Amino acid sequence: MAGLAALGVDLDSVPWKECVLGFSFAVFSWEMYLDLRQHWKLGEKEIPAKVVKALAPHTLAADEFNKSRMYSYDKSAYNMFNKVFSLVQTTLVIALDFLPWAWGLSGSVAARAGMDPDAEISRSIVFAGLLVVISTLVNLPLSIYFTFVIEARHGFNKQTMGLFLSDTAKSLAFTLVIGAPVLAGFLAIIQWAGPNFYFYVWLFVMGFQLVLMVLYPTVIQPLFNKFEPLPEGELKEKIQALARSVQFPLTKLFLVDGSKRSAHSNAYFFGLFNDKRIVLFDTLLEHTTHDEVLAILAHELGHWYHNHIVKRLVVVQAHLFVLFYVFSIVINLTSLYKSFGFASQPIVIGFLLFQVRASAANAALARADPPPDKFIYSPVDSLMGFVMNLVSRHDEFGADRYAVSRNYEQHLKSGLIKLHLKNSSNLNPDRLYSIWHYSHPALVERLEALQAKRKAD
C-alpha cells in the first residue's frame, strides 16, 4: 500500500465496480474478435493446400474435412453464445448487487441451520456453497445442449441423460465436500497470519493441489469411469518394453471406458516419483494400430523426460504467489467492498471480487470448463492463460521431437492424423485464435514441425 501511495496511486479512490465492468467488456471484446475470426475461417469449404501437403501421403477426403469443419463450426457458435451468456451473468451480478443479496441470504441459511451467522468462516462456506449450486443450475441448460445436441449431432455423445445428471450431481457433491474444508483452511490462515498471509496461503494451496493430483486419478476419477488393467498380450508387452527402454518407472497400465460417455480418444500418464501409471482410452485402441499407440505414448513420455509437468507446476505456483501477494494489498480496501454494496469486509467477498475463478477442486472435478467469470484480476489472468498456452505449445513440439528420437516419426504422424480425424478436430484454425486459445498446436503445425525436423536432420 505504501509503495503504491509513493507512486501516486490512491486505491481508495478507484471506481472498482466500473473498473470490473470495463475489464469484463474489454476481455469479452478481445475474445469475441478472435472467435469471429475463427468462425469466419471455419466457413471456408475448400481444403487449404497446406493441409493437403501436411497430411500427405494421407489423402484427405472432402467429407473428412467437412466433418471436422462443421463440428468446429458448431462448437464455435456455441462458445460465442456461451461468452455472451457469461458476460450477461457478470453484468447482472454486478449491476443488481447480487453478491450482497447472496451474502445476506447465507446469514439467514446459516442461522436456520443452527450456525452462528456472525461466524465468518461457517457463513462463508454457506455463501460459497450457494454460489456453486446457483451457478451449476444456471449453466446446466447450456451444458445439456452442448452434450445432447452438438456432441450428439456429430456422433460423439454416448451418455444417457441419467448418466449426465448423475455425473453433474457427483461433481457438485465433491466440489462442496472438498471445497468446504479447503475454504475453511484458506480463511483461517488469513485470519491467523495477518498481513503476511499470502505466503502461508500459497503454501496451503500448493499442498492441496499436490494432494489432489494424487487423489483425483486414484480415488475420484474411478467414481466416474471404470479403470481395468490392460489385458495381457502383445500391446502390453510392447508398452512395458518401451517404458524400460527409457527407464520410465511404469507400475501399472489401465484401460478406461471412455466410450461410456464419448467417442473422443485420449491417453495419459499420472503419478508421482517412481509410481507412474499409464491410462489408455478404449476408443484409442479402436482407432489406432499398436505402433501408433506406442508413438502416442512416446510423445507422452517426452513430457516426462523433459520434466514438462514439473516446469508448468513451477510456473503456476509462481503465478499463484503473485496473485495472493497482490490480494494481500487490496484485501482491506474499504472502498472495494463499499463499491459493490457491502457494509462489512468478509474475506471471502474480497477474494471473490478480486479473483472469481473455479476453485482447484471444482476445476479438477468439473465435467466441462466453467464460464470465465473474472473480476479485478481479469487482465492479468487472461494474459497468464495466454502465457501458459505458449508454454504448453512449446512443450507439445518438444514431446513430438522426443517421439521422433525414439524412431516413431511415421507412426506418430499417422496416429495424430487418425486421432484428429476421429475426433473431428479443427484442421484449419485461424492462426491468431490458435495462438491465443490452443494449449496444443494445430495438427498442421505439428506435422509441419515434424517435416522440418526431418529436413534439418
Interior/surface letters 335-361, b for 16+ CB within 10 angstroms, e for the rest: ebbebbebeeebbbbbbbbbbbbbbbb
Question: For the purposes of burial, counting CB atoms within 10 Å of the CB of 173, is it exposed (0-12), middle (13-18) or buried (19 or more)?
Answer: exposed
- Alpha carbon of residue 321 to chain centroid: 19
Three-state secondary structure call for residue 248: coil
DSSP H or E run through 96: none
DSSP H or E run through 110: helix 98-112
Residue 56 is classified by DSSP as T
DSSP track, 383-420: HHHHHHHHHHHHHHHHHHHHHHHTT-HHHHHHHHHHHH
CA angle at 176 for the pair 124 and 108, rounded to the nearest 5°: 40
Evaluated on CA atoms 399, 401, 404, 410, the torsion sign reads positive
CB 273 within 8 A of CB 291: no
Residues with catalytic roles: 300, 400
Strand ranges (E), 305-452: none
What angle, rounded to 10 degrees, do the helices at 197-215 and 308-330 form? Answer: 140
Neighbours of 213 (CB within 10 A): 17
CA angle at 202 for the pair 124 and 396, rounded to the nearest 5°: 115
